[in-house]
Structure 1
């Protein structure tokens, strides 16, 4: 089901989100502060037994100069710099095992999978990146950490790490800096969308069931998953509603979609109770670059799963392999 075939209410839906007047200034100052720290990229080969793919333990400096980990995987047999894909993982997951996530390097790309700081205790074999920044009272999970202000909110650090991850893959010497795309599902999709709005010169974007889009609407309509952390927090902090959504306005995918220009492929499951399909369509309609969306009629938060990844592979090939 394409955008044209989606229900009329989704084709016509537009988010009511209003971005803060100082949105661009906030992110410019945030990224400038990060750039004051050296990237300090270190790639350490990992013995895996794979014959066609090399794996490197990647480490670089993200927000605040904090150490961020990831896996950089590249085809073992290559001739010159490769097109690259930077991937961000789902909520509470981690970078996992070196043998995981072999799709993109198997397709011929340099592939950096970034660890999301503080996560990895629940899925995908764990993560290796701490979050050394403290925060005030929070509901269990990550969605409300530091939510009292935009300067302290958790995803300020995560989005900054992700921008630095793109710089890391561009500086690694294994990839063509002019041929980089970003991808992710759920939380990873929300991070990828933010990166697309913050990093110039990206060549492609693929997001499945993106989190952190049309957030206030999502908190009201989601029946499962991370958004319930925000509603749970507000149930206890009843006088903080305005302040919480003021903070979240600086991290909403709608604002980043308005600033992104890379060709983009979105997907959503019409039965998704975690990231309601209207939130994906809200980001899609706000997106300023060339775009397509696939709405999977009987799928939930998997948003088409591996079948949708076939779309990404087919789309990324011409977008990333063409020489600028």
Structure 2
């Protein structure tokens, strides 16, 4: 039983949500603003019972004076610059436990895991916007006259700054850096690889933040996307601004950035996903033009995927 289009249709689907006419200028301007952000950071040692890995909280100042916290795990004894991985977490959560970062670091990777501003971790969100902030982050800034005030614009830039900080470390070879994430984390891995062309390897599982209009038309704007329902119910019940809203969301739609990716890609989708429908994921995947591989979990949805961690490790071992 399909929860979305048949697989053959998914393989050619390229999305319904609009791409703003000034999309490229929007992101070039954003990246130019990021150039003025220093790569300075502060480290705070964390005690962890490992004879092979050192752990730290790393803090840097992001766009808008946000204090961004990352988890840094690196091998104790590094003889030469090695590979690095940037990790991103799911919606509303944090970077989680140290165990998975330490596992990679014990194998020679330097790992930097970013807490998204204003979510479940320790990163702050000082963004001030006009309009509602009810029920979630996708709609934060939708009613502000300035589209630069969209919440996810700054989170997307934080991913790039995090990757650049990792690349600047003397123990990391800037040409051997990958990105990894699931759900919102998969979206942010996609964005980071799109906006930082030096990323070499990308593993993204059932990415969020894609093809908002498709989600709406499928009547699946629940759970992760439920704030779209709240927005229209409370602030535009007659959908007078329908086209304007979905065009504005186009600035933070990962499918519109996907064609910028230069990294090797492992894209992972569960075909029973009712949280981030498969078609929304394919809308982005089908626009990737770099070396890519699609890994399908036919009987799985938005959940733990058996064997994924090992497959991700296998990909990153090629860095």
| TM-score, normalising length: structure 1 | 0.89
Q: Is the 8 A contact 1:38 1:65 kept in 2?
A: no
- Name the CA shift for 1:306/1:51 in 2 (closer, same or farther; >3 Å): farther
Residues 41 and 306 from structure 1, CA distance in 2 versus in 1: closer, same or farther, beyond 3 angstroms?
farther
Quote the residue 1:143 is aligned against: 138
**Residue 186 (structure 1) aligned with residue 177 (structure 2):** no
Contact 1:196–1:256 (Cα < 8 Å) also in 2: no
- Of the candidates 155, 161, 164, which is equivalent to residue 161 of structure 2? 164
Tell me if structure 1 keeps the 8 A contact 2:272–2:302. yes
Which residue of 232, 235, 240 maps to 2:233?
235
In 2, the alpha carbon distance for the partners of 1:7 and 1:99 equals 36
Q: Secondary structure at the match of 1:69?
A: strand
- Residue 206 (structure 1) aligns with: 203
- How far apart, in 1, do the equivalents of 2:162 and 2:216 lie? 29
Worse-matched range after superposition: 151-160 or 95-104: 95-104
Q: Alpha carbon RMSD of aligned pairs, Å?
A: 1.8
- Which residue of structure 1 lines up, in the alignment, with residue 305 of structure 2? 305
CA 1:288–1:113 in structure 2 vs 1: closer, same or farther (change >3 Å)?
Answer: same
Partner of 1:262: 263
Report if the CA contact (8 A) 1:206-1:312 is conserved: yes
The whole-number CA distance in structure 1 between the counterparts of 2:263 and 2:24 is: 19
Q: Could you tell which deviates more after superposition, 290-299 or 220-229?
A: 220-229
Q: Who is 2:3 aligned against?
A: none
What does residue 280 of structure 2 align with? Answer: 279
Shift of 1:260: 0.8
Aligned partners of 2:74 and 2:105 also within 8 Å = yes
Question: Structure 1 unaligned runs (5+)?
Answer: 1-5, 121-126
Separation in 2 of the partners of 1:102 and 1:277? Answer: 32
Is the contact between residue 18 and residue 247 of structure 2 (CA under 8 Å) also seen in structure 1? Answer: no
Alignment partners' CA distance in 1, 2:272 and 2:225: 16
CA distance in 2, matches of 1:314, 1:99: 18
Indicate how the Cα distance of structure 1 residues 233 and 223 shifts in structure 2: closer, same or farther if over 3 A, else same.
Answer: closer
CA 1:231 to 1:107, structure 2 compared with 1: closer, same or farther past 3 Å?
Answer: farther
Q: Give the Cα separation in 2 of the matches to 1:198 and 1:37.
A: 15
Separation of aligned partners in 1, 2:83 and 2:256: 27
Q: 1:288 to 1:244 in 2, by over 3 A?
A: same
Equivalent-residue separation in structure 1 for 2:128 and 2:65 (angstroms): 15
| Pairwise CA distance, 1:251 | 1.1
Displacement of 1:38: 1.9
Per-residue deviation, 1:94: 1.1
SS of structure 2 residue aligned to 1:179: strand
Q: Show the counterpart of 1:59.
A: 59
Q: Which moved more, 1:216-225 or 1:62-71?
A: 216-225
Query: Which of 199, 223, 226 is 2:224 aligned to?
Result: 226
Could you state the TM-score of these two structures normalised by the residue count of structure 2? Answer: 0.90
Q: Which runs of 5+ in 2 are unaligned?
A: 1-5
Deviates more, 1:50-59 or 1:39-48: 39-48
Q: How does 1:4-153 map to 2 (within 5 A)?
A: 7-99=7-99, 101-120=101-120, 127-135=121-129, 136-149=131-144, 150-153=147-150
- Name the CA shift for 1:108/1:277 in 2 (closer, same or farther; >3 Å): same
